[in-house]
């Protein structure tokens, strides 16, 4: 019994955290935002420690529908880290009304639980339920933005309806997989799908099932929700969507693509096409964006293309690079949103022009922004450079040199709009009515921590990459 509890400990702890926040949300009396924030901060910090302590546990639960291994546990650590980092920037949750603060943290927790269940799910129905738990939490959180107006409402409605359609398509695809393989357990599907992968039903089932996950990762042509959601959501919520939810999507995509055994040329060609279109479309459209969050949304579409490059190799090196890049991408996106939260007034969106003279108004924030966008662009010595380098090497080793060259061209294109952000922060003078941006001591420490993580992941990747390699071997 105790061994089973240990296997399920991170999920049980975050369930406990959700119950505590639920009790806070239904408590009597006037809302106390400071108490709510400190409660969520302490609980999320403990959650990260619990996930780290459960990193190397292994086993199966619920009649082999739920697998706990290094692959699932390393992503649970990433999710816990993402949750903790987002909570740290919620001390000034201006974008959400005070009376909704407990609910904001509550549904952020339930979303994290859903994603943790998702990365350990090795059975189709379990996977679907976990995905819906995380998705519906985000559907509720999105309209909570204060002063969002029609833009926020439109984003919420669009996200909900497109998510519902994606879920229906995914469930339809799962029915095909069940019809072909006569089982819902991924382990059994893994054994039977290579022999059936040339059957139209198997290909249709796999593609439709992956379509729901492509929606989460904002892969073309399932990307249209991302710019509106990024622009319409509160800054802290979008920071979570841009980091933690993308990591969970990477994890389950790796699990499902490993099922094919790289036997289907049609499936490989599909992933190649989606990767090419995604990175090219995202980078080209991002050039025209002036709202920083919309720019990051189109950037995420391009990064989904890079991630698919690593996944389509279906190799140890490719999966390892994607796992490593998941952590790097989480940290780099958080760095950008950390600056957005501290620069924005009353939780408003931030345009690139508002970064003008940031190096004078808040030198530390300018440095964090510089490393964040340079990392997303893939420049050394950031973790973004190392992550992209590892993905490109894995692709070249599989014989796709031309695909790596196209990706490098796209990286060069992305430099244009990333350098535009740096230009505004360091080369343009501050606006006449601009004032210095105060940065509290805790936020200074957080900026230093993120800067150190970005450089450490770029210069000393061995520890994380070795763990990623072991995790990739577990899923293969």
Instruction: Name the pLDDT band for 395 (thresholds 50, 70, 90).
Output: very high
DSSP state of 356: T
Q: What is the pLDDT of residue 81?
A: 94
Map residue 96 onto helix, strand or coil. strand
178-210 tens-digit pLDDT = 888 888 888 788 777 767 666 777 778 878 887
**Tokens 């400071």 appear where?**
34
Match 């879920």 to its residue by tokens: 167
d(C-alpha 291, C-alpha 420), whole Å: 12
Residue 78 CA from chain centroid, whole number:
9
Tell me, what's the pLDDT at 261?
59
Average pLDDT over residues 245-264: 76
**What mean pLDDT comes out for the span 404-426?**
92
Q: What is the pLDDT of residue 430?
A: 84
Q: Mind listing the pLDDT tens digit for each residue in 12-51?
A: 999 999 999 999 888 766 677 888 899 999 999 999 999 9
Model confidence at 291: pLDDT above 80: yes
Query: Which long-range contacts (C-beta less than 8 Å, at least 24 apart) are formed by 473-476?
Result: 473/316, 474/69, 474/70, 474/71, 475/69, 475/71, 475/254, 475/255, 475/258, 475/319, 476/258, 476/316, 476/319
Name the strand (E) or helix (H) holding 197: none
Mean pLDDT, rounded, for 230-253: 86
pLDDT at 174 over 60: yes
Torsion of CA 419, 422, 423, 428, to 10 degrees: 170
Contacts of 9 (CB under 8 A, 6+ apart): 50, 53, 54, 57
What pLDDT was estimated at residue 79?
Answer: 94
Report the half-sphere exposure of 437 (CA within 13 A, side-chain side): 24
Cα–chain-centroid distance for residue 105? 18
Share of the chain above pLDDT 90, in %: 37
Residue 452's pLDDT is 95
CA distance 24 to 39: 9
- Asked if pLDDT for residue 151 goes beyond 80, the answer is no
Measured between alpha carbons, how far is 192 from 259 in angstroms, rounded to an integer?
A: 9
Mean pLDDT of 413-433: 88
Which tokens sit at 288? 């025209």
Average pLDDT, integer, range 50-58: 90
Distance CA 145, CA 471 (A): 38
Q: Exposed, middle or buried: residue 153 (CB in 10 Å: 0-12, 13-18, 19+)? A: middle
From 170-174, 210-214, 240-244, 382-386, the region with the lowest mean pLDDT: 210-214
pLDDT of amino acid 138: 87
Average pLDDT of the chain is 87
pLDDT of residue 107: 92
Cα–Cα distance measured from residue 415 to residue 408, given in angstroms and rounded to the nearest whole number: 11
DSSP 8-state secondary structure symbol assigned to residue 170 = H
Going by C-alpha positions, the residue among 18, 215, 245, 243 that lies closest to residue 119 is 245
Buried b (16+ CB within 10 A) or exposed e, 368-384: bbbbbbbbbbbbebbbb
Flag whether the pTM goes above 0.75: yes
| CA angle, residues 296, 89, 334, in degrees to nearest 5 | 30
Q: Which pLDDT tens digit goes with each residue over 312-361?
A: 888 888 899 999 999 999 999 999 999 999 988 777 888 888 888 889 88
Task: At 54, give phi and psi (nearest 5°).
Answer: -100, 15
Q: Give me the phi and psi of 123, to 5 degrees please.
A: -145, 135
Number of H helices, E strands in the chain: 21, 2
Residue 123: helix, strand or coil by DSSP? strand
Answer with the residue of higher pLDDT: 277 or 257.
277
Measure the CA angle with vertex 284, ends 282 and 287; round to 5°: 105
149 burial type by CB count under 10 A (0-12 exposed, 13-18 middle, 19+ buried)? exposed
Split at pLDDT 50, 70, 90, the class of 80 is very high
What mean pLDDT comes out for the span 442-448?
93
């Amino acid at each position: 019994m105790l061994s089973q509890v240990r296997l399920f400990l991170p999920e049980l702890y975050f369930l406990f955290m959700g119950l505590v926040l639920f009790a806070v949300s239904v408590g009597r009396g006037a809302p106390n935002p400071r108490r709510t924030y400190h409660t969520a901060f302490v609980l999320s910090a403990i959650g990260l420690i619990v996930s780290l302590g459960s990193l190397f546990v292994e086993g199966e639960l619920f009649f082999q529908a739920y697998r706990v291994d290094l692959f699932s546990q390393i992503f649970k650590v990433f999710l816990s880290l993402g949750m903790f980092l987002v909570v740290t920037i919620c001390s000034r949750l201006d974008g959400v009304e005070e009376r909704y603060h407990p609910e904001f943290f509550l549904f952020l927790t339930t979303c994290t639980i859903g994603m943790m269940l998702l990365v350990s799910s090795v059975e189709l129905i379990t996977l679907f339920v976990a995905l819906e738990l995380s998705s519906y939490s985000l559907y509720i959180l999105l309209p909570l933005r204060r002063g969002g107006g029609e833009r926020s409402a439109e984003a919420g409605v669009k996200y909900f309806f497109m998510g519902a359609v994606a879920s229906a398509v995914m469930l339809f695809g799962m029915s095909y997989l069940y019809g072909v393989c006569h089982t819902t357990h991924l382990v059994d599907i893994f054994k039977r799908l290579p022999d059936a992968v040339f059957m139209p039903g198997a290909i249709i089932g796999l593609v439709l099932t992956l379509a729901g996950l492509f929606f989460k990762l904002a892969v073309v042509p399932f990307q249209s929700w991302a710019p509106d959601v990024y622009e319409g959501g509160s800054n802290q919520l979008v920071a979570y969507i841009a980091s933690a939810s993308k990591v969970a999507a990477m994890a389950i995509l790796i699990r499902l693509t490993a099922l094919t055994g790289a036997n289907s040329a049609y499936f490989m060609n599909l992933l190649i096409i989606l990767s090419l279109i995604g990175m090219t479309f995202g980078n080209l459209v991002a050039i025209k964006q002036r709202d920083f969050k919309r720019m990051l949304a189109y950037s995420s579409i391009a990064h989904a293309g890079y991630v698919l490059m690593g996944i389509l190799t279906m190799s140890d090196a490719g999966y390892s690079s994607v796992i490593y890049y998941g952590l790097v991408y989480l940290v780099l996106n958080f760095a950008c949103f950390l600056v957005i939260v501290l620069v924005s007034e009353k939780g408003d969106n931030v345009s690139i022009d508002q970064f003008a003279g940031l190096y004078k108004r808040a030198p530390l924030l300018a440095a964090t922004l510089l490393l964040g966008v340079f990392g997303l662009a893939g420049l050394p010595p950031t973790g973004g450079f190392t992550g992209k380098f590892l993905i490109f090497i894995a692709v070249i080793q599989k014989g796709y040199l031309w695909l790596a060259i196209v990706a490098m061209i796209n990286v060069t294109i992305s430099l244009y709009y990333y350098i535009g952000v740096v230009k505004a922060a360091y080369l343009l003078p501050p606006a006449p009515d601009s004032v210095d941006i105060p940065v509290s001591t805790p936020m200074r420490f957080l900026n230093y921590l993120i800067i150190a993580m970005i450089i450490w992941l770029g210069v000393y990747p061995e520890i994380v990459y070795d763990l990623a390699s072991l995790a990739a071997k577990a899923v293969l």
